[in-house]
Amino acid sequence: MHRRDRRERGIRGPLLPPQLPGYQTRTQRFDDRVVAVVEHLEHNWGKQLQDVEFAVEDVPVLIHGSTEVPLGRLYPAENEQPTRIVVYRRPLEMRAFDSADLDDLVFDVVVEQVAHHLNLTPHDVDPTYTGDG
């Protein structure tokens, strides 16, 4: 079944052109932020991060008895599963004041999780890390 309007013309084209901000969903923009940070880190740490999977999930599953909502989590490799670093979109978006603040928060969370994986400090992973995001 083809999707048509009442005059049988069909869909004429995209509602928004790709260059406009509304073209991407909030989720797609968030994913792009995470990808940008990972690509930045892979420039210096590519060999150490080649077996690490990065993922974005909307919300974390809370551990029983925990009162803190994690912003990101490191899942070590086990049973043929690779190491995974997960960034949680909704808790980060709720903490951010604006787009620039969200960029800083995503950067800080990804750097902290990579540092945890590499057993380094976040400043060793990226000297521009401020930790105040």
pTM of the model: 0.82
Please give the CATH number for the structural domain made up of 24-125: 3.30.2010.20
When the pLDDT of each residue in the chain is averaged and rounded to a whole number, the result is: 88
Stated as kind and residue range, the H or E segment containing 128 is none
CA–CA gap between residue 122 and residue 116 (Å, rounded) = 8
**Distances in whole angstroms, Cα of residue 2 to Cα of each of 10, 11, 15, 35, 84:** 8, 10, 18, 36, 41
Confidence of residue 13 (pLDDT cuts 50, 70, 90): low
Pairing of strands 83-88, 72-75: antiparallel
- What pLDDT sits at residue 106? 97
Q: Model confidence over 50-102: pLDDT tens digits?
A: 999 999 999 998 877 778 889 999 999 999 899 999 999 999 999 999 999 99
In the chain, where the domains are located: 24-125
Q: Closest by alpha carbon to 34, among 52, 19, 17, 61? A: 52
Give the rounded percent of residues in the chain with a pLDDT score beyond 70: 82
- What pLDDT sits at residue 125? 95
